[in-house]
Amino acid sequence: MIYALISDIHANLPALEAVLDDVGLRDVGATYHLGDLVGYAPWPDETVALLRQRAISGVAGNYDSTVG
C-alpha cells in the first residue's frame, strides 16, 4: 500500500488543496497528517474541516498542541 504523509500545513488551505489534488491523482491507499496543521496562515477552521471531511487522521504537532 502507498501512503501519503503530509505535515506542516500551518493552515495554508490553498497549499493543502493542491497537495490533496495531487494525492488524488496517484494510487494512494491512505493519507496521514504528521503535525502542525494550524498556525501562520488565515484558514485554520477550513483546514481542519477539510481534513475531517476527507477522514485524514494524524498526530498533533507543537503548533497544534497550543490550540485550546
State pLDDT tens for residues 4-41. 999 999 999 999 999 999 999 999 999 999 999 998 88
Q: Which long-range contacts (CB under 8 A, 24 or more apart) does 23-30 make?
A: 26/2, 27/2, 28/2, 28/3, 28/4, 29/1, 29/2, 29/3, 30/1, 30/3, 30/4
Q: What's the structural domain count of the chain? A: 1
- Domain of residue 13: give its range: 3-66
Q: Which stretch, 17-21, 58-62, 63-67, has highest mean pLDDT?
A: 17-21
Using CA atoms, how far apart are residues 21 and 59, in angstroms rounded to an integer? 22
